[in-house]
Structures are given as structure tokens and as C-alpha cells.
A and B are shown apart, each in its own frame.
Chain A
Amino acid sequence: MAIDKNARYLESHEYAKPSGEYMVFGISDHAQAELGDVVFVELPAVGKTLAKGAIFGTIESVKAASDLYAPLSGTVVEVNEAVKNDPSLVNKDCYGDGWLIKVAPSDPAEFQSLLDSAAYGKAIGEE
């Protein structure tokens, strides 16, 4: 499974990746493979404030519907409209075109508290 080295992860498989002054949230390659074909993504409105660990949306595949947890606190500045219209982008390119939301972090230090790519790799390798 691909693990983007620029991103950091939650054990629940969401990632946060720096993009200029913002952070991009998405789900890992491992998560999209486990979910199978994604058929629906529900994302928050731009401007919504998220606390670290809060549910920011829902992702639904033919197997299951799962909540999405915010890796970091912040305010939503952009939502990936393309992925709402074509949820298969999450399966095809979870670290690229299949990103979910872009957030202005309120506490950038939280990024350091997430799992780095090595620690996340270890976490999913043990599953």
C-alpha cells in the first residue's frame, strides 16, 4: 500500500498533508483499499470549524459507511467538489485528486502529534 511521506496520519486512516499555509485532509491508500469502491462522500461546508478528532464527514462504499475524523483542528477553506461528483477519485488517487477538504489549521503544532508515515505503516502492517 502506498503511504505518502509528506502526510501524517490518524490510526483511523485519515491523513493531513501540508499545502502552503493550509492542510489537506483525505484517507490513506490502505483505507480506500479496505473500503472498496467508494460510492458517496459527504463533506462539510466551507467555513465550518473542526476540532481535532471531530467527525467532518462520511464516506460510503459498497461495503460500509464510515465517519471521517479530522486529524487537526481548523476551519474548512475548500471542499473537493470533484470528489463529491465522482467518488471513485478516492479509489484512484487518494493522495492526489481524491483529496477531501482543505483546512486552515488553528494549531499547526497538532501536526507533529500525528503518526508519521513510518509509524502509520507500522500501524497498518500490524493489523
Chain B
Amino acid sequence: MSTFKYGDEKITSREIMIAIPSMIIAVGILTFPRHLAELTVASDGWISIIIGGLIAILLTWLVAKIASNFPNQSFLSYASTLATRPVAIVLTCFYVIQGILITAFEVRAITDISHQFLFNETPVEIVGLTFLLVVVYAVSGTRAGLFRLNAMFLPIIFFTTLLLIIFSIAFMKGSNLLPVLKTDLQGHLQGTMKSTLSYTGIGILFFYISLVKNPKKAPSRAAFGMGLVVVVYSAIYLTTIAVFGETATANIRFPLIELSKTIEIPGGFFERLESIFFVIWIMAIFTTTAMALDIAVMALNSIFPNANKLKIIFLLSPIVFFISVLPQDFMDLGTFGDYVSYTGWGLTGTTAILLGILYKVKGAKKRGK
């Protein structure tokens, strides 16, 4: 089996490029137009998306750059080299917790949404458990398999999103997009803050780059992958604003779901399309959830190299399920989501800056010798 291309758990930098949008695009895509429309005037939210996106691209590049300086080394090992081993272990533990939290949030969010729109009678716990079991199944296999799954799903996700936008054209009103650039600075700042929440998950690069055989190209590829997300987000945002108008968008809980319910394919034969779009979004959320759990497993495995991967998974998944049923209602869930996103940014940002500075300092020392 060692001659088999994916048999040795190695990936290429192209797969990193695919992993980034697969990780970033998650539940947030269904709700972010609402948050942005609340804060900005008419279609101005796209500026916040772009600025937030540029920050995210920068961080992606930085993280990938740091990680790619240590090819084939795990996060724990290069973090130990740069900042001492205890610090590295603490950081790794944080990533385990972060991975568990993201998984739990995504499971709960997709459970609530599908309960509301697809299964009204099925108990939420059953829906959540079923989804989690499939995620566990995906994570139990080879890591390279997960990346191939991403590569298979992502084009479908992009294609259907494009399809959704094309079918929306008939319902767009140009007047909803005007006036341009009337938001004040405060609105732009808050909008950017909000939009960055939709770019959570960059931290996976600290771990996944170690799987890349030749990570030289990884930083630019990862940044490009993030660029794709920015494009998709801007397109979706402008479409929802053009179809619903800013005030209505700000008052619709899931603007993207509502958009899929609004469109009709000409001909009157396929009136209801949202079930198809649901499949696609669940795929997008599935890849995010699987990767988040995988990172938790991978981080834990690096601390306990002798532990069996399956045992770690079976240890983590009950915890994930328990956390996912904790939020009481939609308010709790929203707070939970914001919290997960902010801590994600905080953790990734801190790690990147800390390791970046240490790398520079140590590198300078080396050159000084």
C-alpha cells in the first residue's frame, strides 16, 4: 500500500488550498448577511467583508508561513522549539478545546436548523447524534481521505452557490443596492468585526501544514483559498441585499435559506429548491465539523503519541455531544457561536504573533552566530 498516492497520509499544498474554504464556510454563511445588514447602509457591507477578508488572508498567510518553515514537523514539536515545551503543550491543549467547541457548535447549529426546516417531529438529540456519528466515521478514517472528501465537496458547494445566485437574478432589484458608500466609519468598523467572525478556522493550518510534503507553496495557496471565501461571501451578501433589501435582510434569521426559498426555476415544475440547497450546506458544514474534530484528535494525539486514534475519538465524541446539547435556546446558541469565533481568532492570532516573533528572534540569533 505504500506506493499508493494517499497511503502515507501526505497531502499537497493544493489540498491545503481546498481545506481552507471547506473549513471556513460553515453555519455562518447562512446568517452573516443579517449581522452585516444591521450595521451598514444598503450594500455597503461588502466593504466590511473585503476588509475582514483581507485581515483573514493576511493571518492565513502568516500562519501558513510559520508552519511551512518547519516542514514535516508537528505543531507541538516546532512550537516547543520556538517557545518552550510547556508553552507548546498549553497551546496544543487550547487547540483541542477549540476543536471540541467548534465541533459542538456546528453540530448543534445544523441540528437546530434542520429541525426547523426539515424534520419537525424528529427529536433534536437524534438529529444531532446522527450527524455526529457520521462526522466521527469520517474522522476515524485516514486523514488524507478527509482531504479528498473536501476536494470532492468544495466544487459542488461553489457550483450550487453560483446556481443560487444566477436563479436569484430574476428577483433582484437594483434599487436595493443603492446608495453606495453611505455608512459611517463606526458602521464599517463594527461590520468588519462582525464579518471576521465568519472567517474562523484558520488555526487548522498550524496542524495540517505538517502533512504537506513540500510546503513551500502552501502559504500562497492557503491565502488564495481564503481569497475564494471572500469572493463567495461578497457575492452572497450582494445577492441577498439585492433581493430582499437591507432592512428585510437585517430581519431575516437565515437570509441564505430564505433566498433559496424565494427563487423559482422558470417553468413552474421545480418550485421548491431549498431541500437541494440544504444538502449542499449540510455538506459544507459537515466538512467543517469533521476537520474541527480531526484537529482536536490530532492535537491530542501529538501530546499522547502512543494513544490509539480511535480511542481518542471515542473519548472526545461524548464530550462534543454533551456540549452540543448545553445551549438552551437560539439566544444561547448565538452567544456560543460568537464566543467560539472570537476565541478562535484570539487563539490563532496570539499563536501566530507569538511564534512569528520568536521565529524572527531565534532566526536572527542563528544568523548572528
Task: Answer yes or no: are A and B bound together in one complex.
Answer: no
- A interface, CB within 8 angstroms of B: none
